[in-house]
Copies of this chain bind each other. A is one copy, B any other.
């Protein structure tokens, strides 16, 4: 069983339970090859904290070790106290052309030796295989997955996803394999891509596979053992990596680093902080395969820990953007990500804890900023005005900076104020929402980003229907505005902010629903910002200082429920769970029957019974796809339970 503890987009920190203990993910599985043992598995557990290792069942199944391992079991033969995953020989088939074992035999063998996670024998698709050939192999992989599922008994099964570079095949294979009783889904056939630095293709393969995979299954990326890649692979939702590299590179005198591989003999110093490098000279290390392997393993384990840290902190994107500068092929992979924003966005949180850092033109295309611009176009309704007053980007929050200019312009001309920011156009009423309110930009911006911001701006402004837009460049602008849009008005900023934020957060038209009536609000003494919003005496919304978004209160939830038909905003739960939510208990994924496909992690949501009665107001922790897939974990944190109406109308 797999449970998610923390998440950041598709990436997650999780716990995988096996008969030999719990494994924290993302996890690195060192490959143990008993024929070339360099670090004993027990040392991996005791000195490196390894919770799981992987070894090859195909190799164990051959003489002279076969009888031994059948008698003693794989754990005893390896002398490893934690979990053991076994591989099947599919990679050997890729290397040697074929293997002398069938899928059924290798499954039986893995059961017999007590593997915690046994792998089916999939058919390795080469990147060069055309669609026909890859399809045939993917279909055979699906057939064998079904066979393995039928044979697995109690053994937790690793199902494989093949399909070469063909996105449709990857997705289909992933979907079919997901339907079976697999414990882990493994993306196979990627080693040739890794060896050739084809990281753009790697991104495409992982994303296509993830589109088809059950999100509740941990995903193993077979053969990805270089720490360079862990952040990117984890960002795309991979949870398990296996590394033979630590040993193979060591035999070849090479050292792994998060920024590449280096030949030990060419270094006078490694520049590494690991226990090996901190306490040995380079000449000792370079001459000792055991030290080299231990350095490599320290670096790999630290690299997965770093990924887990980044997921928990919500800054994995930053880590990926930094790591992309290690090699131009990784930069290409980073630039490829934007092409999958439709999928990545589904998993993005509403906001993150950290400020948004701009570190290159690629930052602009993060899925969360893609969403910002998309929602601006689709959800934000610009107030009626003749023209647009365009303010140049300045320090955030914009309204503090531009207050006086805007007040004067508004009272003398019929225009709406907007900042042309790098992230996208920012109507002044929205400048307190994350990440607009919390972002750090360099002073000098590269051309690509400026150009992209210009394009977003023009695109949005063209759709917004103003007669003209005028860049504020001093007093002359005011003159021009008066001439072109005579009139003017006085804007109640707090009202404008509430309305714009509501529409932007919940969808166009929701401000009318949530704020219809006599609106009153409380201003926070600390921040000077709106804190609580009351309509007709009821507490409808609270505005969060952290990210500038609303928390929905029961009265607000009732308004949305009444105005919008299912499934909008809803998480529909099992009737058995209803009383618990009414008492304020969280929504567990296994009790979710359906949900609004528009819900994103962090969104406010209405927990409803099958009769569409409101049971609770909650903050989603998953999107619909995840809520329906997971059998473990919290789908939504209930903020406020809602009691049953005293006399529920009969249905």
Q: Residues of A at under 8 Å CB distance from B?
A: 48, 200, 259, 262, 266-275, 277-279, 298-299, 301-303, 305-310, 312-313, 318-319, 321-322, 324-329, 331-332, 335-336, 357-361, 440-444, 446-448, 451
The count of identical subunits is: 2
Q: What 9 pairs between A and B have smallest CB-CB spacing?
A: A271-B306, A273-B302, A447-B448, A273-B274, A271-B309, A328-B442, A446-B448, A325-B359, A332-B442
- Per the bound structure, the CA–CA distance linking A429 and B627 in Å amounts to 62
Cβ–Cβ contact A451 & B447, under 8 A:
yes
A325 contacts B325, CB within 8 Å? Answer: yes
> In the complex, A329 Cα to B271 Cα: how many Å?
25
B328:A359 contact, CB within 8 angstroms: yes
Contact, CB under 8 Å: A270 / B309? yes
Known interface pairs A328-B440, A444-B335, A451-B447; A308-B269 also in contact (CB < 8 Å):
yes
Partner of A278, one of B259, B302, B303, B327: B302
Q: A273-B273, A279-B275, A309-B267 are in contact. Are A321 and B325 (CB under 8 A)?
A: yes
Chain B hits for A312, CB < 8 A: 267-269
Contact B272 A302 (CB under 8 A): yes
- The smallest beta-carbon distance between A256 and chain B, in angstroms, is 11
Chain A at the B interface: mostly helix, strand, loop or mixed? helix
Q: Judging by beta carbons under 8 Å apart, are A274 and B271 in contact? A: no
| A361 CB contacts on chain B under 8 angstroms | 361, 446-448
Cα separation A360 to B322 with both chains bound (whole Å): 11
Closest beta carbon of chain B to A270's beta carbon, Å: 7
Given A361-B448, A448-B361, the answer on whether A299 and B273 have CB atoms closer than 8 Å is yes
Residues on the B chain within 8 Å of A440, using CB = 327-329
Contact of A271 among B278, B310, B444 (CB under 8 A): B310
A272 contacts across to B, CB distance below 8 A = 273, 302, 305-306
Residues of B within 8 Å of A318, CB to CB, are: 325
Residues of B within 8 A of A336 (CB): 444
Whole-angstrom distance between the Cβ of A227 and the nearest chain B Cβ: 10
Q: Chain B nearest CB: distance from A45 CB in Å?
A: 14
Given contacts A48-B278, A272-B302, 9 further A-B contacts (CB under 8 A): A269-B308, A275-B278, A275-B279, A278-B298, A318-B325, A326-B359, A328-B358, A332-B442, A360-B360
Q: Which residues of B contact A329 (CB under 8 A)?
A: 440, 442
Interface centre among A298, A325, A448 (most CB of B within 10 A): A325
Which residues from chain B contact A270 at a C-beta distance below 8 Å? 305, 309
- Within 8 Å CB of A322, what residues of B? 259, 322, 325-326
> A307 touches which one: B271, B324, B328, B442 (CB < 8 A)?
B271
A-B contact pairs, 5 of them (CB 8 A): A271-B308, A318-B325, A321-B325, A361-B361, A446-B447
A309 touches B275 (CB 8 A): no
- Contacting pair A309 B357 (CB below 8 A): no
Is A309 a contact partner of B269 (Cβ separation < 8 A)? yes
Selected contact of A443 from candidates B200, B259, B321, B325, CB within 8 Å: B200
Known: A269-B309, A322-B326, A325-B359. A443 touches B332 (CB 8 A): yes
Query: Residues of B contacting A443 with CB < 8 Å?
Result: 200, 332
Q: Return chain B residues, CB-CB under 8 Å to A267.
A: 309, 312-313
In whole angstroms, how far apart are the Cα atoms of A306 and B259 in the complex? 11
CA distance A318 to B270 in the complex (A): 16
Give min CB distance, A292 to chain B, whole Å.
14
